[in-house]
């Protein structure tokens, strides 16, 4: 059955802006403040990774220091290791996310270690978070295909998901990093993972490179998944996945869910306004057809 309510995880300020030209701290803060006003309850606001690897996120501490915090909104950060976790805590992140992969090729290129090494590296992060009562989300990249290793078996995704879940991640976000998935493959993958991790603990994180993200989400919703990651204006991509484009646009997801009678708590107009502002700064049109249609009205 379809969920009645979907929780949206807005990743635009992180996943989006990590792969656009660096817009500067003030524009990032303004984007997050605008998103906070739209009714979103979860905003991934930056990442504490090596600035040599992702220079666009080097000012995440400054971003966290400057945003207006609203009660009821989780401002989260990506943390690949203990150093990142400590910096995220100093910056006042509410929650953190570790990020692994279902493929060895992507793991090596994105975080410079094997899947097994990455899991070992996450252990102390989870332990430190537990000690501070900070929740940890776990990402898995390349769940529907890898730019280096090609096809990925659903069983491989399920195995990594189960490990992250048992290690203590409260939610596992399933990343179609390069947007190659199609609806039946997405359903098969989600079903396989849901045999090992409860559906309520799973999220979809689909990039829209091949224009399939919305169709994939629509076909996974009847399986009961109720957390969706998206980026306002379809911003971004991943610097370590060549050709990867942005996440599915938040405006498109909200429009589709509301049309299906599924609540999100998000005001579409305010979301569109937030996307318009950041796209003006980036000097590009929002990569959301819903936003384009509403703006043209």
- Residues marked as catalytic: 238
How far is 236 from 260, CA to CA, in rounded Å? 27
15 binds Mg ion (CB under 5 A): yes
Select the span of 32-40, 77-85, 164-172, 216-224 touching ligand HMG (CB under 6 A): 77-85
Cβ closest to ligand HMG, residue 141 vs residue 288 = 141
Select the span of 66-74, 82-90, 220-228, 283-291 touching ligand HMG (CB under 6 A): 82-90
175 binds ligand HMG (CB under 6 A): yes
Q: What's the chain's Rg over C-alpha atoms?
A: 17
Among 15, 30, 171, 251, binds ligand HMG (CB under 6 A): 15
Which pairs with CB-CB distance under 8 Å and at least 24 residues apart come from 189-192?
Answer: 189/143, 189/144, 189/154, 189/157, 190/220, 190/223, 190/225, 191/154, 191/223, 192/154, 192/155, 192/157, 192/158
Cβ closest to ligand HMG, residue 169 vs residue 238 = 238
Select the span of 75-83, 191-199, 215-223, 275-283 touching ligand HMG (CB under 6 A): 75-83
Cβ closest to ligand HMG, residue 202 vs residue 268 = 202
Considering only residues 222-281, where is the footprint of ligand HMG by CB under 6 A? 238, 240
CB of 71 to Mg ion, least distance (A): 27
How far is 277 from 283, CA to CA, in rounded Å? 10
Beta-carbon contacts of residue 52 (< 8 Å; ≥ 6 apart): none
Among 8, 54, 61, 186, binds ligand HMG (CB under 6 A): 54
The answer to whether the CB of 81 falls within 8 A of the CB of 112 is no
Query: Residue with CB nearest Mg ion?
Result: 15
SS3 per residue for 233-271 = HHCCCCCCCCCCCCECEHHHHHHHHHHCCCECCCCHHHH
How far is 80 from 58, CA to CA, in rounded Å? 14
Residues that bind ligand HMG (CB under 6 A): 15, 18, 47-50, 53-54, 78, 80-81, 83-84, 87, 99, 110-112, 139, 141, 175, 177, 205, 207, 238, 240
Residues that bind Mg ion (CB under 5 A): 15
């Amino acid at each position: 059955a379809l969920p009645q309510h979907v929780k949206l995880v807005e990743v635009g300020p992180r996943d989006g802006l990590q792969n656009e030209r660096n817009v500067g701290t003030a524009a990032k803060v303004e984007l997050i403040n605008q998103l906070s006003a739209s009714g979103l309850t979860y905003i991934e606001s930056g990442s504490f990774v090596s600035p040599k690897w992702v220079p666009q996120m080097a000012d995440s501490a400054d971003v966290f220091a400057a945003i207006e915090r609203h009660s009821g909104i989780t401002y989260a950060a990506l943390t690949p290791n203990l150093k990142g976790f400590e910096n995220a805590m100093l910056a006042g992140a509410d929650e953190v996310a570790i990020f692994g992969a279902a493929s060895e090729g992507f793991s090596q290129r994105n975080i410079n270690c094997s899947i097994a090494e990455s899991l070992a590296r996450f252990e102390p992060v989870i332990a430190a978070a537990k000690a501070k009562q900070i929740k940890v989300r776990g990402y898995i990249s390349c769940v529907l295909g890898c730019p280096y290793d090609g096809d990925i078996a659903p069983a491989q995704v399920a195995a990594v998901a189960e490990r992250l879940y048992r290690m203590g991640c409260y939610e596992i976000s399933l990343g179609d990093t390069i947007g190659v998935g199609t609806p039946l493959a997405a359903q098969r993958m989600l079903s396989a993972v849901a045999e090992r991790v409860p559906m309520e603990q799973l999220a979809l994180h689909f990039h829209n490179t091949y224009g399939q993200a919305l169709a994939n989400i629509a076909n996974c919703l009847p399986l009961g998944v109720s957390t969706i990651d998206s980026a306002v204006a379809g911003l971004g991509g991943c610097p370590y996945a060549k050709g990867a484009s942005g996440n599915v646009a938040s405006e498109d997801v909200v429009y589709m869910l509301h049309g299906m009678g599924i609540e999100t708590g998000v005001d579409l107009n305010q979301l569109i306004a937030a996307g318009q502002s950041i796209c003006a700064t980036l000097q590009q049109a929002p990569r959301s057809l819903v936003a384009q249609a509403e703006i043209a009205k």
